[in-house]
Structure 1
Amino acid sequence: MKVGTDGVLVGAWAGVRPSDRRILDVGTGTGVIALMLAQRAPAAEVTGVDVDDLSQARENAAASPWSDRIRFVQCPAQEFDPGTPFDLIVSNPPFFVDSLLCPDPVRAAARHAVLLPFGELCAAVERLLAPGGRFAVVLPATEAGRFADACRSRLSVSRRTDVRTTPGRAPKRVLLELMRPDEAPAATLQDELVVSTGRHEEYTPAYRALTRDFYLKF
């Protein structure tokens, strides 16, 4: 679970603006999303926060060209208080709410919303977000509605992309961008992304265009 399609998707899809100076990756893990955001936003300082050990994230950042702009803090998002809000917050959070827990406690914590319930994540984001800031998150299609409901009154969906693994299949993942309700546009911008053509190791032009800066094979 170190590098997966979900993290690459949200790291590439999140709406980075030239004016962004402070970016936060919630649940940073090995720091992959934080590294992607540092690559995409050359003027921004990027912070990764996680409850788990961050030695791999720090090692990865130290080996990158952006080590001077990335820092990591081992702390629950609910308790994190940097003193200055963030222009962009991104997360690939633990997402399954009512499904059967994995017997491995580490894997269960990474995949299930036990340590970071949806409501608490939304409350933390609202507290940490600067005026006009955006929050980008990737979720299973089955959980996206539940997440939006948990954020209601705190954050509104401004952009949504449904992600299909191959043409004709139901969306498997949903990418959401949220803003404070009084700052969000009146209508949600919606589209979809298909990852693969259905042939072995053959990706769609749209997926290649979105992620080509991060995959050596593209």
Structure 2
Amino acid sequence: MSAGFQCKQFYIAHQSCAMKVGTDALLLGAWAQLPTCGAVLDIGAGSGIISLMLAQRSQGALAISAVELDDAAATQATDNVRHSPWPQAITVIKGDILTYQTAQRYALIVSNPPFFQDALVSPDRKRQQARHTQSLPFPALLSKASSVLADDGQFCLILPAASQAVFMQAAQAAGWYCRQLCAIRSKAEKPVSRYLQRWGRGDLVAKRCDPIQHDSLIIHDAGGGYSAAYRALLRDFYLAF
């Protein structure tokens, strides 16, 4: 198993993390809409990959708080940030996001959250914590995000298609409004596997009557290689692109 992942401008070590660098985190880090100003919150930062991608995209101009519950992952994320080109832009905070206290209101919140609803409990405690909603139920995640979001802030996350309906119901019930939904397919003929999504608070969005933006992205082309759209999205990060 690889000890890390090399991007064009930084390296992510992830051997101490329950969840390694994967497609979901890379998609979210490249896709999330950056604010022109304000602070960013990364919920469940893991190795720090999403925070570092956002730091690269903003050239270190945005202050990013990366909150991670697991001790080993938080330590690894701290090391990754320290050895990156933007050590001053990211603050790694070891702790539970549900008890995280701050007066800061964030212009952007990003999360690649736990998503399994009813799966069997994993014997690996860290992997269970990183993957199962028992550690961060959707209503609790939405409530916390709402409490620290700036008035016109955005909440961007990625979820498997199997978890989308449950999350959508919880979000709408809590007063969130979906601003953008991007359906991800591994190949054109395959079903949707995951959704990138951007949410705002319902009352503020409703006043502007903004329509929901629907997009789609196919990861692999007919020949099995990466599609042109995927290459364009990740070209600043993948060495091969």
TM range, normalised to the smaller chain? over 0.9
* 2:220 is the counterpart of 1:196: yes
User: For residue 167 of structure 1, what is the aligned residue in structure 2?
Assistant: 188
User: For residue 21 of structure 2, what is the aligned residue in structure 1?
Assistant: 3
User: For residue 101 of structure 2, what is the aligned residue in structure 1?
Assistant: 81
5+ residue gaps, structure 2: 1-18
Corresponding residue to 1:20 among 37, 56, 73: 37
The letter of the residue matching 1:137 is L
The letter of the residue matching 2:231 is R
Distance 1:180 1:78 in 2: 19
Whether the 8 Å contact between 1:20 and 1:88 is mirrored in structure 2 is: no
More displaced 10-residue stretch of structure 1: 36-45 or 166-175: 36-45
Aligned length: 216
User: For residue 34 of structure 1, what is the aligned residue in structure 2?
Assistant: 51
Corresponding residue to 2:87 among 50, 62, 67: 67
More displaced 10-residue stretch of structure 1: 117-126 or 40-49: 40-49
* 2:227 is the counterpart of 1:207: no
* 2:160 is the counterpart of 1:136: no
Alpha-carbon distance, 1:139 to partner: 0.2
More displaced 10-residue stretch of structure 1: 19-28 or 130-139: 19-28
TM-score (norm 2): 0.87
Paired residues for 1:73-152 under 5 Å = 73-152=93-172
Identical aligned residues as a percent: 38
Distance 2:100 2:176 in 1: 19
Alpha-carbon distance, 1:198 to partner: 4.2
Distance 1:83 1:102 in 2: 36
| Deviations 1:86-142 (CA, angstroms, capped at 9, x unpaired) | 000000000011122222121111111111000000000000100100000000001
The letter of the residue matching 2:213 is L
Distance 2:133 2:78 in 1: 25
Alpha-carbon distance, 1:154 to partner: 2.8
Alpha-carbon distance, 1:3 to partner: 0.4
5+ residue gaps, structure 1: none
The letter of the residue matching 1:15 is Q
